[in-house]
Chains A and B, each alone.
Chain A
Amino acid sequence: MLSKVAERLYWTARHLERVESTARLVSVYDSLLFDLPNDLDISWYNLVTLNSADDLFAERYKNRDERNVVKFLLADDTNPSSMLSALKMVRENVRTTRDVLPQESWEMVNELYIFANENIQQGINRSARHEFLNKMVKGCQQINGLLMGTMCRDASWQFLRLGRNLERADMMTRLLDAGAAAQIQGEAETHVLISQIVWGNVLRSSSAELSYRRTMRSAVHESDVAEFLLEDPYFPRSLHFCLSSMLSAIKDLPNNAKAKTALQKASKVHFELDESKRLGVEFREYLNQQQLNLNDMHQMFNETWFAIIQRGSE
């Protein structure tokens, strides 16, 4: 398979995942804010911080209000991670890899792209937001469903899998970090115990609520939530699951030795969860380290499979 095609597939999956997680994130944030005490200053702006986009946001907007944040996250074309920007990247990548993807995938991506652009205002205004974002999530699931149901499990599929799981793992560390940050900040400012609300929201953001209950058989408790989202071997968005999916994706790819070692190493790093302790600064440091690891892995994939241009021209 062409290096360039592998790279485009990898990014197709990453961006598609980004579209879905951004839609999901904005759509569950409403309910979180309704549930929190009014005097607490946890705002929409946290979503910008969670995406490490503070500087970019500051260039474009003064007001950190709901409208600006939602606009920035969903529609802003100067934000390369906004939902529409990510979807545009999906479209461009699929457009240039039409020759290896199922024929309908281009049509489906294109339809979603047209739908998103025509209806984006619904996502920015509050009244129809939930419905619109739901449709976006469904659109992504439809595309993933098509790929899953029709693609050969050859290298193209594995690169899609690799991209999807790297993006998921990255998003998971960010969600957990946002949860920990909200809790630390909240408890300093108010006496209400917000732990339940915050971690319940983290679960919902990754569609993990029911699986969590079934698996952990407990009410929402911070260290259980962290354990589930980091370590659960069966939940498809847990960090552990994403790392093992990446390992399995590269199993038969050529020149995979270095990537294999790095992934194995990363899966062995665990955070010592202690039920009696709150999740605090150390937890955030651990998540930060995992984000850096994921970034290194991306660099490695890049050097191993995509950037053969330099090597080949010798």
Chain B
Amino acid sequence: MSIDWKQYDSNNFFDELIGDNGIPRASAERLVEHLESLEEGELESRKQMAEATIQEMGVSFTVYTEEGNIDRAWPFDIIPRTISAQQWERTAAGLKQRLKALNMFIGDLYDKQQIIKDGVIPAHIVLESKNFRPECIGIKPAHGVWAHICGTDLVRDSDGEFYVLEDNLRVPSGVAYMLENRAITKRVLPELFQKEAIQSITDYPARLFDTLVSISPRKIKRPEIVVLTPGIFNSAYFEHAYLAQQMGTELVEGSDLVVGKDDCVYMRTIAGLERVDVIYRRIDDLFLDPEMFQKDSVLGVPGLMRAWQAGNVALANAPGAGVADDKVVYAYVPDIIRYYLKEEPLIKNVKTYLCDDPEQRQYVIEHISELVIKPANESGGYGMLIGPHSTKKEQAQFIKLINADPRNYVAQPTLALSTAPTLVGKDLAEPRHLDLRPFVLQGKNSYVTTGGLTRVAMKKGSLVVNSSQGGGSKDTWIVNGGDADAI
């Protein structure tokens, strides 16, 4: 026998696979049964097989260290995380709702700013955001969509409900890893795919392609679509290349593109210059165009903003979309949904304290050892304070930071992030905390990935799931049939 589930205890955290008394949840029944039926040591050899596969497939990400950039193999746990199809359907609807409202919000901010005039969100919250770009005022992107690709981080609290932890509307990454995780699992646990009704995830690149085609300014049969990468040293380069390959589009760097006198974007080819219609850009706003933003950026393309403003090229995501994934704006998203859609949000926000507000700031400072403090505009888990895991000295330092720039900090209660069994030794699975990043597309139509990328904190008790900080990942199964997991 392999894993002994009786020994498995998730300590009152909501566990994705195992419910109370060691009984598997409906969506995980067959998986758990199968894992149990494996011969002793079999899991370990499957794990090794997964590691070899990852190395051969060259699934890697780059970590920046003082010694230089290291290409690390993608850390992966072979036990999948399951979610019932019924529950996923509700969640997916909530994700679409959220992105739709956020896009209306961004469009409004760069247009009439009606939501500010109507007093739903204070002007300074928006206009002082680092990601508000006055250069975007008056621009009307196709279908009114600014954020075409959104990676939404979801977590489950101890009540078993999904909450949105943050919206990533700038250059969210991880979708290639989601796809590769499935490819690895198919090789490592092939027998399960025969037994289980696991929903396929493979159509993402095709849907992404359709989304990008739908925003082309030139309505021609085959618009030229490119993926713009900062290059091989970017931590997500693997993903940029992967997506370009899967979509059959060119993978370009800034130096491959040039903006002509006609304000159109061209790429340098063996036959000379060719017009580009849509750029799926994977570099930040501020590096996009040295003429307009960071002057010394070598990653961008001089004149790109000019071309975009003239409507000659589409950028996905559009510059300025990041204004809506500011962590302070986040606190207003439920109101934003109600304001634009006249609907109740289908997925809840995590309770958020805005340090900008004197009363809430006071609360945060008094309860700093219980809260998670986040800067408004960082990603990748950088610059955060996790109260319960911090020292007095760190707390004092953060209080200083908050007082110096209150607008830039928010606080949230430490969530009891859900767990799932993760292989930690021979035939031994222990609970590890995880989150979920589904990807949402919006162009002419919208689409949500089937599941998403599950990121797992590989260290015992740790809540940090970012791959740059030692997190790993799991394949995510949306399983048909059965009832929704009892909560």
Contacts and interface: CB of A to CB of B under 8 A. Distances in A.
Interface string B408-432: 0000000000000000000000000
B55 A114 contact: yes
Contacts, number: 71
A5 B250 contact: yes
A2 B256 contact: yes
Nearest to B252: A2
A50 interface: no
B241 A309 contact: no
A110 interface: yes
A4 B253 contact: yes
A254 B271 contact: yes
B134 to A, nearest CB: 29
A99 B270 contact: no
Interface in A76-118: 92, 95-96, 98-100, 103, 106-107, 110-111, 114
B146 interface: no
A99 B232 contact: no
A312 B57 contact: no
Given A255-B271, A313-B258, A106 B250 contact: no
A1 B56 contact: no
Tell me what chain B mostly uses at the interface: helix, strand, loop, or mixed: mixed
Interface in A170-202: none
Nearest to A101: B245
B241 A111 contact: no
A3 B245 contact: no
B358 interface: no
A6 to B, nearest CB: 5
Contacts of A2: 250, 252, 256, 267-270
Given A95-B58, A107-B56, A114-B55, A312 B270 contact: no
A273 interface: no
Given A3-B268, A4-B256, A305-B270, A99 B250 contact: yes
Nearest to A96: B232
A254 B270 contact: yes
Contact of B255 (A92, A95, A309): A309
Interface of A: 1-6, 92, 95-96, 98-100, 103, 106-107, 110-111, 114, 155, 253-255, 305, 308-309, 312-313
30 contacts: A1-B269, A2-B270, A3-B268, A3-B269, A4-B256, A4-B268, A95-B58, A95-B232, A95-B241, A98-B241, A98-B244, A98-B245, A99-B227, A99-B244, A99-B245, A99-B250, A99-B251, A106-B57, A107-B58, A110-B55, A110-B58, A111-B56, A253-B270, A254-B270, A254-B271, A254-B272, A308-B268, A309-B268, A312-B268, A312-B273
Smallest CB-CB A-B distances: 4 pairs: A254-B271, A99-B244, A99-B245, A305-B270
